[in-house]
Structure 1
Amino acid sequence: MAEKRNIFLIGPMGAGKSTIGKQLARRLNMDFYDSDDEIEKSTGANISWVFDVEGEKKFRIREEKVINTLVKKQGIVLATGGGSILSKKVRNKLSSRGIVVYLKTSIEKQIIRTSRDKNRPLLNTKDPNELIFKKLENIRNPLYEEIEDIVIYTEDKGIKTLVLEIIRYIDNLV
């Protein structure tokens, strides 16, 4: 039953949206999209460069347009950017066009999972990552919670286990 509906993965950077999304789509025989990848394809540049050149406000407008296009598709798994939910329009589109799965993880895990990734514009600062993640958590967690249909804790579980857990929850929703 899960494969009949769009599945949108939301959550902070380092929660596993892209990794889990690819496996979930494969398991359900659905198309997988990553909003950041789609932005990179359309601009021909990586996210950090787009973010630096355009600034966060223009980047969010671009992100909103990409997500608006993607949610019109049928039967997809979409990994969204961690900050995409800052837009009320994006939140409304996600919640009205599919099942929203909030992948939740601790700040400690986020730091570990993003430590070597230089393609995270919000982490390219002199502030310690822990402070950045805490600030983002305070702003974004209520927005994730506002639109989630399912919350999945990604702390200490393998990808296969998480994928099966998501499928089980979705099957119980429908």
Structure 2
Amino acid sequence: MEAAHRMTIPQIFARHGERYFRDGERRVLARFLAEGPKVVATGGGAFMNAETRAQIAEQGVSIWLKADFEVLIRRVRRRANRPLLQTPDPQGALRKLIDDRYPTYALADVTVVSDGGPHEMVAAKTMQALMSYVNVHAVTRARPAVTEESIS
């Protein structure tokens, strides 16, 4: 999005608004998903779109890197590039985002707790959780379906 617009995400939000950004984000993600296997790291708002979630469920695996409020507030304080937190009360805005979004994020195929440790540790935990998920689903798909005919 930034390259196509030659603007940062905060600039896109400021000039065109969140709805415009989210629509573009949805289209870009749909294109990425159609191109085949890859890792795509989205921002928090992308998974809130029901159409995007459905496409991910059909064509990929969703992973939620779950962090608590304290971890997130430490991370976002380091950068001023979060348009939804550019308010007089960024902590209150973050708490509201958590309350609003975490129930939807919980729909992800895989959840990995990101507790603020080294990135390498979170990456390793993510790979382990993803491999477990893929192995379980590969076994489930490989088993013949139990039908009434196969029982008799």
TM-score range, shorter chain: 0.7 to 0.9
Partner of 1:77, secondary structure, is: coil
Counterpart for residue 4 of structure 1 = none
Whole-Å separation in 2 of the counterparts to 1:156 and 1:60: 28
Counterpart for residue 73 of structure 1 = 35
Task: Tell whether 2:102 aligns with 1:141.
Answer: yes
Q: CA RMSD in A?
A: 1.2
The match for 1:151 among 92, 111, 117 is 111
* Structure with more contact order per residue of length (Cα contacts < 8 Å, sep ≥ 6): 1
Per-residue deviation, residues 77-130 of structure 1 (Å, max 9, x unmatched): 10011111221111111121111110000111111111131211111111x222
Question: What does 1:68-147 align with in structure 2 at a 5 Å threshold?
Answer: 68-126=30-88, 128-146=89-107
**Which structure 1 residue ranges, 4+ long, deviate > 4 Å from structure 2?**
none
How many residues are matched? 134
Counterpart for residue 36 of structure 1 = none
User: Which consecutive unaligned segments of at least 5 residues does structure 1 have?
Assistant: 1-38
Higher share of residues assigned strand: 1
Per-residue deviation, residues 48-99 of structure 1 (Å, max 9, x unmatched): 0100111111111111111111111222110011111221111111121111
Whole-Å separation in 2 of the counterparts to 1:124 and 1:171: 37
Q: What amino acid is the match of 1:122? A: L
User: Which consecutive unaligned segments of at least 5 residues does structure 2 have?
Assistant: 135-152
Q: What amino acid is the match of 1:82? A: G
Partner of 2:63, secondary structure, is: strand
TM-score (normalised: structure 2): 0.83
Say which one has the larger Rg.
2
Question: What does 1:6-25 align with in structure 2 at a 5 Å threshold?
Answer: none
TM-score (normalised: structure 1): 0.73
